Amino acid sequence: MKLKSIGQNLLDRVDPRIIAATERAMKAIPFVKARLDKEYGGMLDGMEHSMRPYAGKIESYSAIPDKGRTREDLLSEIEGLAAKESPRWKEGFLSGAVYSGDDAHVEFMNRVYSATSQVNPLHSDVWPSASKYEAEIVAMVADMLGAGPGNGKAPREDQICGAVTSGGTESILLAMKAYRDRAREKGVKKPEMVVPNTVHAAFDKASQYFGIKMKKIPVGSDYVANVKAMKAAITRNTIVLVASAPCFPYGLVDPVTEIAALAKKNKIGCHVDACLGGFVLPWAKQLGAAVPPFDFVVPGVTSMSVDTHKYGYAAKGTSVVLYRGHELRSHQYYTVTDWPGGLYFSPTLAGSRPGGLSAAAWASLVSTGKGGYLAATRKILDTTELIKAAVRSMPEIELMGEALFMVSFCSKKLDVYRVLDELGKKGWNLNGLHRPAAVHLCVTLRHTQPGVAERFITDLREAVAAVKDSPPASGGMAPVYGMAGTMPLKGLVGDFLKRYIDLLYKV
């Protein structure tokens, strides 16, 4: 009775209009969910064919076959599928995804992996080459990102150190875990991270996996982090501030110097996510581009994530997480001392790992060299400027900031998601963005090939004209993006995404 009366007393103090509005919203949920089930169910039915183009055309398996097929037969099928799928990325129709794609480089990566396919870094006593590759990858990336040539002789608390991971998401997860665990030792029981709302979705994943409350701060009208608002969000539970260099949606670099100074003043961590730009910004700066300070040269930056498998041109499946000081890095490690199976330790989330990918990453860095990265970056910057100039000339769309290797555009005059659909009909696979509605092209070496940028500009002009001059058509991704961007009940949209994932595993 006492609990009931306390609850009733609280309700009595709430504005009746708020209670009425809440009751109306709750009553509307079944209607909204039914609408979503109908709308999204139809969309999924229409999308399933494009997601599963091989259904009924080649053999599929829901159980291990009684008799194995010959290796020659399987190789023929696998190579045939690869041949069907490769033209789209080889000809530069993708945003990001394949960052080099050069035939000779791909063949080189394949040969390295073939020679090291059995290497497992978990067993460094059997394959000491794995430790060599990974230690040198970390050292080379640290040097590129401000550690300097004397890093190895610096005191342990000042050394830039790190680990090789499976990708940017794991690098981010490990860094956030390290901050959480270090904060636990200082008595922080309800850890919080303060991030711009443009940070990568991997920070949301870290928040969910590791129980770190995420405070998302809307970016300013310039689409970069609002430092003043981030400062206001800091509490005694804040363990880390995050900046992007650059952010995924718009390719813009947050004010790292200001954010890092704020973190240092409050004696908390500052993580810079350079997964996308870590292998572009250092070389762009050497080429004379206006690159703001973003790496370990900045006091207060305590960790970074950078992907070798993007603009580092390594095979897919490697990234690097870096820390200022060995003590911070130690919090990402995993050790077990009382397991009947013996002593166990792992520096990253995985136990066994494909050492061939680390060997390929090492080989990519060493074979490309500084000269190769400078030349590649120059091509990418020039191509981006060409496309940006074309976007500026189209009054129906507008650039969202002046990014170095990203072309993000929105529109106040037409449905930009329909432009995305029109480009899709021409073979382009671009990224649709939310809040605000926008589209971006992440420029890679694939787009620097002769004629690719010009083809994109022509197709973009035609797509804009088609949307401007014709009524909306049914189907496509525009309804999906449009509904997801306006629907207030994000959990229901999440349900749709889970149903989409289910389709990926359908045999």
- Whether the pLDDT of residue 6 is over 50: the answer is no
**The pLDDT value given to residue 498:** 85
**The pLDDT value given to residue 53:** 86
**The pLDDT value given to residue 478:** 55
C-alpha gyration radius of the chain:
25
**Which pLDDT band, with edges at 50, 70 and 90, does 51 fall under?**
confident
Distances (CA, A) of 292 to 64, 203, 295, 386: 55, 23, 9, 22
Beta bridge partners of 241: 194, 270
Span 283-290, average pLDDT:
97
Residue with tokens 């990224």: 431
H/E stretch holding 90 reads: helix 71-90
**Which pLDDT band, with edges at 50, 70 and 90, does 470 fall under?**
confident
- Whether the pLDDT of residue 476 is over 90: the answer is no
For residues 383 and 226, what is the distance between their CA atoms, to the nearest angstrom?
A: 30
Span 412-422, average pLDDT:
94
- Whether the pLDDT of residue 21 is over 50: the answer is yes
- Whether the pLDDT of residue 252 is over 50: the answer is yes
For residues 507 and 119, what is the distance between their CA atoms, to the nearest angstrom?
A: 32
Span 12-40, average pLDDT:
56
For residues 338 and 36, what is the distance between their CA atoms, to the nearest angstrom?
A: 50
Lowest-confidence pick of 28-32, 53-57, 137-141, 489-493:
28-32
Lowest-confidence pick of 11-15, 177-181, 233-237, 422-426:
11-15
**Which pLDDT band, with edges at 50, 70 and 90, does 235 fall under?**
very high
**The pLDDT value given to residue 431:** 94
Span 297-317, average pLDDT:
98
For residues 326 and 334, what is the distance between their CA atoms, to the nearest angstrom?
A: 15
Say which residues have a Cβ less than 8 Å from residue 320's Cβ, sequence separation at least 6.
137, 138, 141, 162, 163, 164, 165, 171, 305, 306, 307, 308
Higher pLDDT, 183 or 55: 183
**The pLDDT value given to residue 34:** 64
Span 112-123, average pLDDT:
96
Tokens of 481: 């993006």
Q: What are the pLDDT digits (tens) for 202-222? A: 999 999 999 999 999 999 999
- Whether the pLDDT of residue 465 is over 80: the answer is yes
**The pLDDT value given to residue 31:** 59
**The pLDDT value given to residue 5:** 47
Q: What are the pLDDT digits (tens) for 260-269? A: 999 999 999 9
- Whether the pLDDT of residue 462 is over 60: the answer is yes
- Whether the pLDDT of residue 314 is over 90: the answer is yes
Is 3.40.640.10 the CATH classification of the domain at 114-365?
yes
Q: Chain-wide mean pLDDT for the chain?
A: 90
- Whether the pLDDT of residue 103 is over 80: the answer is yes
**The pLDDT value given to residue 369:** 98
